[in-house]
């Protein structure tokens, strides 16, 4: 167990160093890039250890797994839902996650809005964009993203805070650049009830490049916890 904690320690130091180096190289010094620990299949004791070392943002992929683990999490960490979300599963997470990153349809947005109203809250969301047009991935087509955001901006109990994407592993840099262009284009619209202050992109294999292209939040699982070794 001590070795596993040490493994997380070393990975976290390396990732933090790389993030800081990428920010210094590509961005303004006052720009902040947040690190999210992606927790899929990782046991709570290791997640809480990462939190104790300064990770304050957790990313959940699966509703059922999250339900089984959430009560064991250090409550000082903020949880985002980042995986594919079915409308019939929204009710299980609406009261416990801080932000839903994977909203890619008006149907899903309407259900989040409806349940948020029942809970007397406003739920922060990101619009997930399928920037590479991959059939195997969720996300709205890039050409339809702006219209979806305009539609979601009319809903009273959700607040669009930006965009999320998972670019194709091939030509990742090209798609990260295109995602930044889309983010800037939508930001320039100054849509009411849309904050556009989060660009969530970059994972274990491309987070430094994502920072180059404007990411404000990188989502790292394997790079921090290893190749699903804890379950």
Task: Give the residue among 84, 79, 78, 77 at the shortest CA–CA distance from 61.
Answer: 84
Sorted by sequence, the CB contacts under 8 Å of residue 218 that are 6+ apart come out as: 19, 33, 34, 35, 36, 201, 202, 203, 207, 210, 211
All structural domains of the chain, each given as residue ranges with its CATH number in brackets, are 2-225 (3.20.20.10)
Residue 135, CA atoms < 13 Å, CB-side half-sphere: 0
Q: Would you call 79 helix, strand, or coil by DSSP?
A: strand
Write out the chain's pLDDT in tens, 231 residues: 568 899 999 999 999 999 999 999 999 988 999 999 999 999 999 999 999 999 999 999 999 999 999 999 999 999 999 999 999 999 999 999 999 999 999 999 999 999 999 999 999 999 999 999 999 899 999 999 999 999 999 999 999 999 999 999 888 999 999 999 999 999 999 999 999 999 999 999 999 999 999 999 999 999 999 986 434
């Amino acid at each position: 167990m001590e070795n596993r904690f040490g493994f997380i320690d070393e990975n976290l130091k390396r990732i933090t160093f790389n993030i800081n180096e990428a920010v210094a190289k590509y961005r303004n010094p006052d720009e902040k890039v947040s690190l999210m620990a992606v927790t899929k299949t990782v046991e709570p004791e290791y997640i809480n250890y990462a939190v104790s070392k300064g990770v304050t943002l957790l990313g959940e992929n699966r509703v059922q797994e999250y339900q089984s683990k959430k009560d064991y999490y250090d409550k000082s960490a903020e949880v985002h839902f980042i995986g594919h979300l079915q409308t019939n599963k929204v009710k299980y997470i609406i009261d416990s996650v801080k932000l839903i990153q994977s909203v890619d349809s008006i149907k899903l947005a309407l259900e989040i809005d409806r349940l948020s109203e029942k809970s007397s809250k406003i739920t922060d969301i990101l619009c997930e964009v399928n920037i590479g047009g991959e059939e195997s991935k969720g996300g709205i087509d890039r050409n339809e993203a702006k219209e979806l955001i305009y539609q979601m901006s009319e809903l009273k109990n959700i607040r669009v805070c930006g965009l999320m994407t998972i670019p194709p592993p091939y030509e990742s840099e090209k798609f990260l650049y295109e995602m930044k262009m889309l983010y800037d284009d939508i930001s320039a619209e100054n849509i009411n009830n849309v904050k556009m202050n989060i660009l969530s992109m970059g994972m274990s294999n491309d987070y430094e490049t994502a920072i180059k292209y404007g990411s404000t939040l990188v989502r790292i699982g394997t790079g921090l916890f290893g190749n699903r070794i804890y379950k």
